[in-house]
Amino acid sequence: MPRIAPQPGIMDIALYVGGQSRVEGVDDVVKLSSNENPFGPSPAAIEAIAASAAQAHRYPSTDHAELRAAIGAVHGLDPERIICGVGSDEIIHFLNQAYAGPGDEVLHTEHGFSMYKISAKAAGATPVEVPERERVTDVEALIAGVTERTRLVFIANPNNPTGTFIGEQDLRRLAEGLPEDVILVLDGAYAEFAEGYDGGAALVDEFPNVVMTRTFSKLYGLGGLRIGWAYAAREVIDVLNRIRGPFNLSNTQLAAAEAAVRDRAYIANCLRQNATQRARLAQGLADLGIPSDRSDANFILARFTDAAEAEACDLFLQSRGLIVRRVGSYNLPQCLRITVGDEAAVTRVLDAVADFRAERGGAA
Ligand SMILES: *Cc1c(COP(=O)(O)O)cnc(C)c1O
């Protein structure tokens, strides 16, 4: 009978498990478990981080005006309708805290990002899982899943951990099919990797209940610094700003993100390399008899025969210093999620999987 007890729902939260980063007894390790940019941050961002050190005694800007202006200029968006957070995770928390509570439902897709569930429960709301169609977001199922209790619908597009993507027409059908008082959150953590995709920004302009979230953690290689942002109707931004801590982002975070978003040449090169190596990784695995869905992100979801084979391959890769992500907690125990590394890393993965298959009498 504890005297101090947390709010209902909190003890139901399963702790988030991050990608592994070490293997006992192996020195030359490549981490391909957290969808990080293998090339790291832009040199301009690194310089900005270093330069910010001398200003550590100063409180940071509370309105993030310079970073929002930079993001707005690069993406052609109104800076007044942008909010910045400690990773997009913080924005996901703001949305749940502001719009969902006990008795409310928060929809997410079958193999959706686990933060949606965690954050909904933290707000006291009830996460509701909606089936996908062969690992692809199912618009009709989401619309059918809405009840009078639904407050928020979260989808990641491209999705993590599946890598699959739904196009403009599907997104529009989803936005049109949801009640006006339900917020649709388009999590664009991997939006840049889907060629020609605006992350849903045009839909945000059209629908006051659509919110786009973005991050500096993946393509921009700044996951360690924690910077994300969202684009939404003024009314929504105003609500979220009321619960945002005034100094939620440090000088260093702000400076790094601004330099990173302005360095378009660096980003263009990272995107090119990702596209090339992603195709190589997917094709190489397919040649070994390991299929994956078309990925529009910076990772591949490799599908093995069964959970036992996926686990055995994971252990084999670890013994070679290659850390990938098991996705049993996403209900995909027969799969491994492999971040697209640089050319050498992809070669190492393909060689190791080929050896794994050969040792087992090769199905390839
Ligand atoms: C990595 C990721 C994020 C980004 O989280 P940050 O808090 O910005 O680091 C958000 N959504 C999805 C689906 C992700 O995979």
Measured in Å, residue 250 CA sits from the centre of ligand 1 at: 19
Mean pLDDT of the chain: 96
- For a pLDDT cut of 70, what percent of the chain falls above it? 98
Whether residue 258 contacts residue 45, with contact meaning beta carbons closer than 8 Å, is answered with: no
C-alpha of 87 from chain center: 10
Our mutation pick for probing the ligand 1 site, out of 33, 89, 211, counting the most ligand atoms within 8 A of Cβ, is 89
Is residue 121 within 8 A of residue 9, CB to CB? The reply is yes
Bond into 161 cis (ω within 30): yes
- Is the CB of 89 inside a 6 Å radius of any atom of ligand 1? yes
User: How buried is 234 (Cβ within 10 angstroms: 0-12 exposed, 13-18 middle, 19+ buried)?
Assistant: exposed
CATH 3.40.640.10 fits 54-263, yes or no: yes
Per-residue pLDDT tens digits of the chain, which is 364 residues long? 668 888 888 888 988 877 777 788 888 899 999 999 999 999 999 999 999 999 999 999 999 999 999 999 999 999 999 999 999 999 999 999 999 999 999 999 999 999 999 999 999 999 999 999 999 999 999 999 999 999 999 999 999 999 999 999 999 999 999 999 999 999 999 999 999 999 999 999 999 999 999 999 999 999 999 999 999 999 999 999 999 999 999 999 999 999 999 999 999 999 999 999 999 999 999 999 999 999 999 999 999 999 999 999 999 999 999 999 999 999 999 999 999 999 999 999 999 999 999 998 754 4
Residue type, 4: I
223 lines ligand 1 (CB under 6 A): yes
Q: Give the Cα separation of 309 and 204 in Å (integer).
A: 43
Ligand 1 in reach of 137 Cβ (< 6 A): no
pTM confidence score:
0.96
85 CB contacts (<8 Å, ≥6 apart)? 91, 94, 227, 228, 229, 230, 244, 248, 249
Residues of the chain with CATH 3.40.640.10: 54-263
Cβ(351)–Cβ(288) under 8 Å? no
Q: Where in the chain is the domain with CATH 3.90.1150.10?
A: 10-40+265-359
According to CATH, the topology of domain 10-40+265-359 is: Aspartate Aminotransferase, domain 1 (3.90.1150)
| pLDDT digit string, tens, across residues 283-316 | 999 999 999 999 999 999 999 999 999 999 999 9
Cβ count within 10 A of residue 77? 20
29/50 Cα distance (integer angstroms): 27
The finding on whether 215 has its CB within 6 A of some atom of ligand 1 is yes
pLDDT in the model for residue 295: 98
Which amino acid is located at 187 in the chain? D
Segment (H or E) for 259: helix 251-262
Mutate to test the pocket of ligand 1, among 34, 187, 330 (most ligand atoms within 8 A of CB): 187
Q: Do the beta carbons of residue 216 and residue 257 sit within 8 Å?
A: yes
Q: Which of 94, 115, 299 to mutate to test the pocket of ligand 1 (most atoms within 8 A of CB)?
A: 115
